[in-house]
Amino acid sequence: MNWPGEGEVMIPEGLQYSSISDVVSKIKSLGMNSIRMGWATEMVDDILDNGGDLSITDALNKVLGSENGTTILAQIIKHNPQFSSKTTRLQVWDEVAAELQRQQLHLIFNNHVSKAVWCCSPTDGNGWFDDTYFDVRKWRRSLKYMAQYAKKNWPAATALSLRNELRQVSNPIANATYGWSRWYDEMTAAAEEVHTANPEALIFLSGLNYGHELNPITTGQHLSFTDERVFKLSDFKYANKIVFELHTYDNWMTNCTFFQSTLYSRGFNALDISPESTAVNHAPVLFTEFGFAQNGSDYLGVYAQCLKDFVTGGNRLAEANRIEGGIGWLQWTIGGSYYSREGTQDFDDWWAILNHDWSNWRNETVLDNYQRPMVQGVLAA
C-alpha cells in the first residue's frame, strides 16, 4: 500500500486525523506486509543546504498559512502526542519507521519528487534528469543521505526506490536526453551509490513513460538505435539486490488478453523463467502503483479485474500464463485526504481506500470483493 509523504508539507499524510499506529494497523489488518512511502529531495536539500530540517510547525505554516497551520499542528499532536511544535519532519518519519518495525511491515522508501509538489505531469519540473527542479547532483546526494540514514535508524526500511515515474517533460533541454541511454547512466550510477551506502537494502529500478515500461532492460536489447549497450544484471555486484518496479494506470483497457500481454512485455517477462521467456534479465518485479476510484464500481471493470487475475495467477493469459506464483503489488493509495494538494487544503482523494478523515474504510464493498481477496490470492499463490 502507498502512503504519501512527498507532498508540500513533506511528512506522511493524514496525521491530523489519525495516529501513526492506527494507520499502520489498518494496513496490516488487510494482510499487507509492505508500505511504500514517497519523499522529496527538497527535504534533504533543506537539511544539508538551508540550515537544517524544518519543524513541523514551520512546515505546516509555510504551506497552510499560520492560522490553518496552527490548527492542523494541534490536531496532529492530539492524535500523535509523542510530537511537539519543535518536532522536525525527519523525526516524524522516524516515528513512522519505528511503528512499521514494531508491527513488522517493510518500508519501501521512494524518492518520489525533487520539489515537493503533486506528481506527476510533463510540466511539474520533476519528471526527468535536469528538469527544472530535478538537479541530478542533489538527487544522488539525497539518495546517499537517506540510504545511510535508513541503515542507521530504520530497520524496517528494507528497500529504496531510486525515482518515481520518469517521463517526457516540457523542458526542452531536459527532454532532449530522454531515453534509455540517459536512464542507464543515471540509474546505475545512483544504484551504485545507494548500494555502497546501504549494502543490505533492496534497490528498486523504475522505467520510462511514468514507470510503465522496462522493455529493453528486461530483454537485454540495445538501449537505442545509436547506443548498442545493453543492461545485464551480471554487470552489477549488487545484482541480487535489484528489483524491477512497474506502474499501471491503464484504466482504459477493454481486452484482458491484450492487457496482460502488454504487462508481460513491459517488464513482467523478467518473472518468466521458462525456455520461451523473452527476458534475459530475471529479477523480482512488482507493481508499486496502480489504482482506481473507490467510490463506485470501477473495481468491476476490465482493468481492475484483469489486474487481480494477473497478480494472483487466477487467470493469466497469453505469455503471462508462463509466470509462476503470485506477483507483489502496492495500491495507490491509503490516504483519504492531503494537507494540501494542487492548491486545495484538506483535499479529498476518492482513489484512497480510507475515508476523508482516515477513520474507516471508504468502501467496504470494494474491500471485500477486491483488495482482501487479492491479498489472499497472492499469498496463496
Instruction: Give me the DSSP letters along 238-269.
Output: TGGGEEEEEEE--TT---HHHHHHHHHHHTGG
Element (H, E) at 56: helix 56-64
Check residue 375 and give its pLDDT: 98
Which phi-psi region, left, alpha or beta, contains residue 331 (left: φ > 0; alpha: ψ -120 to 50)?
A: beta
Q: Judge residue 160's burial from the number of C-beta atoms within 10 Å of its C-beta, 0-12 exposed, 13-18 middle, 19 or more buried.
A: buried
One digit per residue, pLDDT tens: the chain, 381 residues? Answer: 999 999 999 999 999 999 999 999 999 999 999 999 999 999 999 999 999 999 999 999 999 999 999 999 999 999 999 999 999 999 999 999 999 999 999 999 999 999 999 999 999 999 999 999 999 999 999 999 999 999 999 999 999 999 999 999 999 999 999 999 999 999 999 999 999 999 999 999 999 999 999 999 999 999 999 999 999 999 999 999 999 999 999 999 999 999 999 999 999 999 999 999 999 999 999 999 999 999 999 999 999 999 999 999 999 999 999 999 999 999 999 999 999 999 999 999 999 999 999 999 999 999 999 999 999 999 998
pLDDT at 142: 98
- Residue 78 Cα distances to 15, 21, 85, 362, angstroms: 9, 13, 12, 23
Query: For the CA atoms of 260, 261, 265, 271, what is the dihedral angle to 10 degrees?
Result: 60
E strands in 225-366: 242-248, 285-290, 337-341, 344-348
User: Which pLDDT score, from 0 to 100, does residue 327 have?
Assistant: 98
Compute the distance between CA of residue 65 and CA of residue 331 in angstroms, rounded to an integer: 31
**Cβ–Cβ contacts within 10 Å for residue 276, how many?**
8
Q: Which residue has the cell 515537493?
A: 116
The C-alpha cell that represents 130 in the structure block: 535536469
Task: Please report the pLDDT score of residue 257 as a whole number.
Answer: 98
87: closest CA among 171, 174, 28, 15? Answer: 15
Q: Is the separation of the CB atoms in 73 and 85 below 8 Å?
A: yes
